[in-house]
Amino acid sequence: MKVIETLNAPGAIGPYSQGFVVNDIVYTSGQIPVNPVSGEAPEGITAQAEQSCKNVAAILEAAGSGLDKVFKTTCFLANMSDFAAFNEVYAKYFTSKPARSCVAVKTLPKGLLCEIEAIAEL
């Protein structure tokens, strides 16, 4: 088991890791749309979805994987009315069309609009 850590994605805001590699499978923690340099989140679902996708990509890259090797994602939206806009951004990054669950939740950390976690092969 190997812990994944990168400065190219936001650090954990709680007692968890950015990701793990176990038996050649990468598991990322849910990535909220926080810029790892500024610590700030952009406004709006489109910009937030972009940042969450970039954060997932950074963790996968640090593990030696990539978005093209993702086979399962779980996506959390603060408002299901953002589903179409979120999908437009998501489709640009997850071109292999991994299996996915996408649910609306009552709230996300820091009042953000989306969060994405992924499972990928190395």
| Inter-residue long-range contacts of 1-4, CB under 8 Å, 24+ positions, other chains counted | 2/63, 4/28, 4/59, 4/62, 4/63
Assigned token pair, 25:
């499978």
Q: Is 114 a residue of the active site?
A: no
Annotated active-site residue in 53, 75, 102, 114: 102
Residue 71 has pLDDT above 80, yes or no: yes
Under the banding of pLDDT at 50, 70 and 90, the label for residue 13 is: confident
Under the banding of pLDDT at 50, 70 and 90, the label for residue 14 is: confident
Residue 52 has pLDDT above 90, yes or no: yes
CA 95 – CA 108 distance, rounded (Å): 26
* Model pTM score: 0.96
Q: Which residue carries 């609009």 as its tokens?
A: 113
Q: What is the pLDDT of residues 87-121, one digit of tens each?
A: 999 999 999 999 999 999 999 989 999 999 999 99
